[in-house]
Amino acid sequence: MISAELMELNAIVWMTSLTPIFSFLAWAEITPLLATATAFDTDSLVLVGVLLSLVVIYLTSKIGGELSNQLGLPPILGELVGGVVVGISALHLLVFPEGGANSFNSIIMNLLQATADLDLKETSAILKTQSEILTIFAEMSVLVLLFRIGLESNLSELLEVSPQATLVAVVGVVIPFAAGTVGLIILFGMPVIPATFSGAALTATSLSITSKILLELGRLNSKEGQIILSAAVIDDILGIIILAAVASLAKTGEVDVSKVLYLIISASSFLLGAILLGRFFNKSFVMIADKLVTRGRLVIPAFTFALVMAYFATTIHLEAIVGAFAAGLVLDETDKRKDLQQQVIPIAELVVPIFFVTVGAKTDLSVLNPAIPSNREGLLIATFLIAIAILGKVIAGFAAFGQTQINHLAIGVGMIPRGEVGLVFAVVGSANGVLSKPLEATIIMICILTTFLSPLLLRFVFPEAGWMVAKSK
Amino acid sequence: MISAELMELNAIVWMTSLTPIFSFLAWAEITPLLATATAFDTDSLVLVGVLLSLVVIYLTSKIGGELSNQLGLPPILGELVGGVVVGISALHLLVFPEGGANSFNSIIMNLLQATADLDLKETSAILKTQSEILTIFAEMSVLVLLFRIGLESNLSELLEVSPQATLVAVVGVVIPFAAGTVGLIILFGMPVIPATFSGAALTATSLSITSKILLELGRLNSKEGQIILSAAVIDDILGIIILAAVASLAKTGEVDVSKVLYLIISASSFLLGAILLGRFFNKSFVMIADKLVTRGRLVIPAFTFALVMAYFATTIHLEAIVGAFAAGLVLDETDKRKDLQQQVIPIAELVVPIFFVTVGAKTDLSVLNPAIPSNREGLLIATFLIAIAILGKVIAGFAAFGQTQINHLAIGVGMIPRGEVGLVFAVVGSANGVLSKPLEATIIMICILTTFLSPLLLRFVFPEAGWMVAKSK
């Protein structure tokens, strides 16, 4: 209780010090006299909150991206770090209640409260709705990103490298899983079930972060890029299957084989089905698009297809983004490819920063603070698990056989980011009572650090690559 | 109570009859056995609900738009009618709880419930969040629409016609206001305050609907189009001022002159300030865009500016869309205009249908059913008010003086749609207890009917115009 009160006090002191920064907006405070006359209801305040949050997101993404680029680093790193700066860890311009923040900590909510004369309860409700909306915005924006990545990838090239990719994926899943689990049991004396869960959380590469990095490197269509992408999709599927297995292990003490089999079959059928039906749907899509004459006759059918595929992916408990990626791959095979890419690029550029800045903003760096004693054991475990997480994927990179002119190190490094799937493990494990709070924080920490490390390292293992920064106007 | 139960029974019977339609999705029902194993939490169900709703919206917009176009009518009419078909009035594929719908009436919610084994309370919470998200999506999409309209309009041409536009706006506000109020008092014996409120609700033209119709007609940059747009912006401001005046009249029995003066001053300063600062900001914007090198270097600064302007508009209680429109106007003056337009078009085409289909879906046609006795007086009043609403604007069209080669009838007809501002009057009036439920429904009905009528009539008063349907790929 005391620490919560101290935090609030802290927030007040800190808010007060910031006041001059947005005092140029203070004239808006005179408007409460109108609040009853016009329909300044909660709905419109949510809209205002979302507007302001998007302004913060876009300013952050541009300032972070440009600075990062000037330092010779990928823009995405700047967006993530920028997100951390404006988020829960520092400036509190963009906070989400699930991160332990209340409306008291949110500068935007304080501004709204001043403008519209709200009480704390109303402000909390607005912050909650606003956060749900921004979260869905971010999730939709990753769908757009992966749809675009699919459009810019080539299905036959992906299939061509699929034997190597499968091996990279399997090795990159087995090594961190096995080494992580065994190491936690032997070195840290952890019980079997949480150790298994933590090991399992190290398995899956983040498709969205990895593919964005490859896009920025201009390496999406290199042999390495194709193997990484392909392996990341397989990884995602393996990760979901492992999650089902370890979650049932955690719950009943044994693995439910029928569930695991069901997942393997449905996930494989989804991918195979997408590829096969895609060949047929290609022609129908072109036929439909040619028949339509009203505005959006290409972009709307294309996104509708992506949304439907994303939905089907969720019904078999794959990530929605796998469906959007598959939709992009299928439409890349049509002769509408060029037109579609051209229209999707500005859409993606507008929405994708929402995802990366939000990921940064939700990251609570305080779990990394070694001055707090309760973090220390977590930090030791985290150091061990991060080493395993990096080494496991780097070794997996060398499993890509039969290619002579290939940068094996780049493949391994490209597979390092654990993003959303790792976070799902943390959330499910914590909800099932398998993971303690510090262990959950440790897993989140691994997702964060691997995400930050991979672009930095890739810059050096692809030394000849420049960031594709000025491709669009 | 009984009628509510009957409605629910009705919904069950009707749902059952529809089951075969989506039984192709029934295989998804076997997935609950996985629901505990994977993180199938409420958040991800909200995402699934939003995905499915967007699929419904896009299918509706394309089917409605194409059919409407084939009948020689504007696509927007098809989107609105399509929205009514999938919405609360008929198919229940897209329902919003504020429209009196519960999760029981929503097909998407029923599907989710079957897929994920939810109870009614969880489903209602998901429907509520999903609806809030779709509502904000729709509001953001009108911002994009008006930003685009601003980009495609020409500030100096708008200013050139501003004397005529001001007269059109003032006449088009005064006639429906005066005739509506006096008519309701004399013909229907209505007390002064609700009559004033209802008359006031007839004043403001819908900027978003009118401008979309002009865009589809290819008449945005005609003399008539410029006068209509310009007058609609002035209308919007007059509407907000009148709302403040009648709301204080309703609350205290007298008009608070200081409030009204404050609104007049702040709204005028906003518009003048936007135009003046815009001239200066133009150069800074081009300078900033030229310095940026990372992705989205044009589209992100442009949208950030639009969001900031939308925010400033809301702080002085104008509609956010007026700010977005002003931002588009300002950026249209830069030499980045062409590049920016090209990038904004696919974005607008993707998001704008969300708004129009949603407006249709929220429209409850049951208030128009003359078989229900309580609707009858409302229908009589509505007929009177609609006649006033149409005639008032048509007469206003002839107030555009000093132009010889001008289609005065087209200007008047173009001003007919009352959209969001009329709805704000209905909501505020009902919340203040000034408008009875039937009177509120009547005002909503007027907003709906004028919106449907205007594109139909415009087709005939601009006989030589074709709908600009195949402008984009």
Q: Are A303 and A145 in contact (CB under 8 A)?
A: no
CB neighbours of residue A202 within 10 Å: 30
Q: Which residue of B has its CA nearest to A64?
A: B294
Query: Has residue A208 got a pLDDT over 80?
Result: yes
Task: Give chain B's mean pLDDT.
Answer: 81
Question: Which of A60-69, A317-326, A381-390 bottoms out in mean pLDDT, i.e. has the lowest?
Answer: A317-326
**Cβ neighbourhood burial of B217 (10 Å; 0-12, 13-18, 19+):** buried
Looking at the partner chain, which of B48, B136, B295 has a beta carbon nearest the beta carbon of A471?
A: B295
Residue A26 reports pLDDT greater than 70: no
Residue A109 confidence class, pLDDT cut points 50, 70, 90: confident
Residue B368 · residue B188 · CB < 8 Å: no
What is the DSSP code (8-state) at residue A256?
A: -
User: Mean per-residue pLDDT for B133-146?
Assistant: 91
**Chain-chain contact of B43 with A135 (C-beta, under 8 angstroms):** yes
Q: Do B346 and A350 touch (CB under 8 A)?
A: no
Position B466 scores a pLDDT of 54
Tally of CA atoms within 13 A in the half-sphere of A226 that contains its CB:
19
Residues 161-200 of A with CB under 8 A from B: none
Higher model confidence: residue B166 or residue B451?
Answer: B166
Max mean pLDDT among A324-338, A429-443, B412-426 falls in A324-338
pLDDT tier, B465 (very low <50, low <70, confident <90, very high otherwise): low
Q: Which of A438, A429, A375, A388 is nearest to A193 (CA)?
A: A429
Would you say A140 and B50 are in contact if contact means Cβ atoms under 8 Å apart? yes
User: Where does residue A20 rank: exposed (0-12), middle (13-18), buried (19+ CB within 10 A)?
Assistant: exposed
Partner B contacted by A379 (CB < 8 A) = no
Which residue has 């007026």 as its token pair? B322
A-chain residues near B471 (CB < 8 A): 295
**List of chain B residues whose C-beta atoms are within 8 Å of the C-beta of residue A243:** 37-39
| CA nearest to A294 within chain B | B469
Mutate to test the interface with B, among A115, A290, A294, A424 (most CBs of B within 10 A): A294
Is pLDDT above 90 for A276? no
pLDDT band at residue B41, thresholds of 50, 70 and 90? low
> Is residue A30 pLDDT above 70, yes or no?
no
Which helix (H) or strand (E) element contains residue B38?
none
Residues of chain A neighbouring B26 (CB-CB closer than 8 A): none
Answer whether residue B45 shows pLDDT above 50: yes
Whether A295 sits inside 8 A of B65 (CB atoms) is yes
* Cα(B371)–Cα(B343) distance, integer angstroms: 50
Helices B437-461, B75-86: inter-axial angle, 10-degree rounding: 150
How crowded is residue B427: how many other Cβ atoms within 10 Å of its Cβ?
18
Q: Are the CB atoms for A381 and A184 separated by under 8 Å?
A: yes
Q: Are B171 and B399 in contact (CB under 8 A)?
A: yes
Q: Is the pLDDT of residue B290 over 80?
A: yes
**Cβ B62–A300 below 8 Å, yes or no?**
yes
Q: Is the pLDDT of residue B448 over 50?
A: yes
Of the pLDDT bands very low, low, confident and very high (cuts 50, 70, 90), residue B469 is: very low
Least confident of A86-100, A187-201, B287-301: A86-100
Of A451, A356, A456, A414, residue with least CA distance to A222: A414
Our CA-based measurement puts residue A400 at a distance from the nearest CA of chain B, in whole angstroms, of: 30
Read off the pLDDT of residues A111-126 as tens digits, 9 standing for 90 and up. 877 777 777 788 888 8
C-alpha A306/C-alpha B212 separation (Å) is: 26
C-alpha span between A374 and A366 (Å, rounded): 11
Cβ atoms B276, A57 nearer than 8 A: no
> Is the per-residue pLDDT at B461 higher than 60?
yes
Residue partners of A441: CB distance under 8 A and separation at least 6? A367, A375, A378
Tell me if A38 and B244 make a contact (CB, 8 A cut-off): yes
Give B 414-473 residues with CB within 8 A of chain A: 424, 427-428, 431, 469-473
pLDDT for residue B10 is more than 80: no
Shortest CA gap A415–chain B (Å) = 23
Report CA dihedral (B189, B190, B191, B192) to the nearest 10 degrees: -100
Q: Smallest Cα–Cα separation from A447: which of A79, A65, A80?
A: A80
Does B239 have pLDDT greater than 60? yes
Which of A34, A69, A263 has the CB atom closest to B259's CB atom?
Answer: A34
The neighbour count for residue B179, using CB atoms within 10 Å, is: 20
Measured distance CA(B267)–CA(B164) in Å, rounded = 19
Distances (CA, A) of A438 to A183, A193, A374, A381, A434: 18, 16, 8, 10, 12
**Residue B53 touches partner A, C-beta closer than 8 Å:** no
Q: Is B429 helix (H, G, I), strand (E, B) or coil?
A: helix
Say whether residue A307 is in contact with chain B using an 8 A CB cutoff: yes
B contacts of A31 (beta carbons < 8 Å): 315-317
What is the mean pLDDT of the segment spanning A208-234? 88
Read off the tokens for B306: 């639009």
Examine the pLDDT at B24 and tell me if it is beyond 60. no
What is the average pLDDT across B182-208? 90
Instruction: Kindly give, in sequence order, each residue whose CB lies less than 8 Å from that of residue B249, ignoring residues fewer than 6 positions away.
Output: B193, B196, B255
Residues B107-133: what's their mean pLDDT? 82
Cβ contacts of residue B462 below 8 Å, gap of 6+?
B217, B219, B407, B410
* B77, pLDDT greater than 60: yes
pLDDT for residue B166 is more than 80? yes
Look at A408-417, B115-124, B288-297 and tell me which has the smallest mean pLDDT: B115-124
Please give the pLDDT value at position A2: 40
Residue A107 has which token pair?
A: 């500068």
Q: Which residues contact B271 (CB under 8 A, 6 or more apart)?
A: B233, B237, B326
Which of the listed ranges A284-298, B14-28, B131-145 does the model predict with the highest average pLDDT? Answer: B131-145
pLDDT band for B12, please (50, 70, 90 cuts). Answer: very low
Residue A2 distance to chain B (closest CA, Å): 31
Is the Cβ pair A300, B61 closer than 8 Å? Answer: yes
How many interface pairs between A and B have CB atoms less than 8 angstroms apart? Answer: 249
What pLDDT does A439 receive?
83
Most confident residue range from A34-38, A367-371, B156-160, B354-358: B354-358
Question: Distance between CA atoms of A462 and B9, rounded to whole angstroms?
Answer: 65
Where b means 16+ CB within 10 Å and e means fewer, A330-368 reads bbbbbebeebbbebbbbbbbbbbbbbbbbbbbbbbeebb
Spatial CA neighbour of B158 closest among B11, B271, B298? B271
Residues of B within 8 A of A62 (CB-CB) are: 292, 294, 296-297, 300-301, 304
Q: Does B341 touch chain A (CB under 8 A)?
A: no
Note which residues in 96-115 of chain A have CB less than 8 A from chain B. Answer: 115
- Determine whether the interchain pair B38/A62 forms a contact, defined as Cβ–Cβ distance below 8 Å: no
Return the ∠ at Cα B387 (arms to B381 and B390), rounded to 5°: 135
Please give the residue that has the higher pLDDT: either B290 or B460. B290
pLDDT attached to residue A389: 93
Per-residue pLDDT, B19? 37
What tokens does B145 get? 């629409």
B129 touches chain A (CB under 8 A): yes
CA distances from B150 to B205, B235, B349 (A): 17, 16, 15
Per-residue pLDDT at A15: 38
Contact A213, A414 (CB under 8 A): yes
Instruction: Give the distance, in angstroms, between the CA of residue B140 and the centroid of all CA atoms in the same chain.
Output: 11
Buried b (16+ CB within 10 A) or exposed e, B80-105: bbbbbbbbbbebbbbbbbeeebbbbb
Q: What pLDDT does A467 receive?
A: 52
Computed over every residue of chain A, the mean pLDDT equals: 81
pLDDT of residue A6: 41
Percent of chain A, pLDDT > 90?
Answer: 29
